[in-house]
Amino acid sequence: MAFAAVDVIRTKRDGGALTDEQIDWVVDAYTRGEVADEQMSALAMAILLRGMTPGEIARWTQAMIASGERLDLSSVPRPTVDKHSTGGVGDKITLPLTPLVASLGAAVPQLSGRGLGHTGGTLDKLESIPGWRAALSNDEFIAQLRDVGAVICQAGEGLAPADRKLYALRDVTGTVEAIPLIASSIMSKKIAEGTSALVLDVKVGSGAFMKDEKDARRLAETMVELGKAHGVTTVALLTDMNTPLGRAVGNGLEVAESLEVLAGGGPDDVVELTVALAREMLTAVGIDADPAAALRDGRAMDSWRAMIRAQGGDPEAPLAQPHAHEVVRASQAGFVSHVDAMGIGLAAWRLGAGRARKEDPVSAAAGVLLRVQPGDRVEAGDVLCDLYADDDRRISAGRADAERAFTLADAPSARTALVMDRVA
């Protein structure tokens, strides 16, 4: 059955619910090019402003899945479980988490993306490692899952192509924040990927897409219900993203910090969240194991090296070094009361660690290394952070955002719990 795109747009514009047939048609027609970008832009804006019912979101997600192939992971002998983060600043958790969970007996099929704006991309970080490649065929993907138990790569062209096209459109039309479209975008790819279980890390705060806890909770609940409806065991954690995760923000810098975690060290907050998510992933597939012990005894590091080698990378190769370096110093004495995640993310972006458009290159060496955390006492002249870039002009571009990100006070302030809540 064919519809007129303008009638579908009007239905949602006027607050109506789209029928299953309308949703199936418009997603398929847009994927094939029959519905123009400007028409889908109008519909996406109407969805942002008017919302969708749970039934509409479920059908929209199903239509996105049906636009392409669905991977069959039945030949993988281990139980499969994946994790998805809604994105943040310094969020390198996928890097230590994937090999950690694999080292304890699960298979982790991690399809990841690239960074845009102030949020970092897992693939950009891993491409800091010489030789590592993000593109795998479906056969390579499944073989690595069987042999190594851990894969981090980009989604294939055939997986939810409707989402790939709509995601790019949303980014340039001010509709990224539409909860129905965020939920269906994430879940269509994860369900099509074929995993049996999924743990969601839904970020809340200044450095996240969801600034408000109420909106983040609604997104988490929507995605959990979508997962369950498609037979995927799904749970979500709401986690704080007002402050950057860890101390490193930038591609190669975050790889180096992830290696510290895999070696049994690293910043407390990165370890805490890695272990918390690992426990959720293992529980979801019925594995009783201690992830903290696997970080201490080297099993997770062994799994990391195997994963990197399997994708052509050299886990022993040195990471790229920056050509320009400056520090930001405290102008007065006091306690660090806040380190703004958005400000640090923007600074790293201006230094060259991120991109403004999808086709922009990123620097492996650029970024911000934090020297202080909320609660720390500093004296005037103490170093608050290091700025790294490939040229001096980038340093001056990122300095102002970095300086504004630090707030000093006369007394220390309590920090928000990292894991704020659990939705299941």
Which residue out of 59, 92, 125, 189 is catalytically annotated? 189
Which residue out of 59, 84, 190, 350 is catalytically annotated? 84
Which residue out of 170, 230, 247, 394 is catalytically annotated? 170
* 305 is known as an active-site residue: no
Q: Where are the alpha helices (DSSP H) in 91-175?
A: 94-102, 122-126, 138-147, 161-171
* 279 is known as an active-site residue: no
DSSP, collapsed to helix, strand or coil, labels residue 362 as: coil
Which residue out of 24, 91, 124, 163 is catalytically annotated? 163
Whether the CB-CB separation of 161 and 67 falls below 8 Å is answered with yes
Distances (CA, A) of 12 to 18, 160, 338: 7, 23, 41
Which residues lie below 8 Å from residue 54, measured CB to CB, with a gap of 6+?
Answer: 222, 225
User: Radius of gyration over alpha carbons of the chain, in Å?
Assistant: 21
For the record, the structure tokens of 147 come out as 């042999």
Distance CA 12, CA 49 (A): 9
* 84 is known as an active-site residue: yes
Whether the CB-CB separation of 31 and 161 falls below 8 Å is answered with yes
* 296 is known as an active-site residue: no
Whether the CB-CB separation of 326 and 395 falls below 8 Å is answered with yes
Q: Which residue has the tokens 């510290």?
A: 260
Q: Where are the alpha helices (DSSP H) in 137-208?
A: 138-147, 161-171, 179-193
Q: How large is the angle between the packed helices 179-193 and 161-171, nearest 10 degrees? A: 150
Q: Residue 154: which H helix or E strand, with range?
A: strand 150-154
* 163 is known as an active-site residue: yes
Give the residues across from 110 on adjacent strands.
152
Give the residues across from 201 on adjacent strands.
85, 237
The CB density around residue 226, as the number of other CB atoms within 10 Å, is: 25
Which residue out of 128, 185, 188, 196 is catalytically annotated? 185
Distance CA 119, CA 349 (A): 8
Catalytic positions, written as ranges = 84, 163, 170, 185, 189
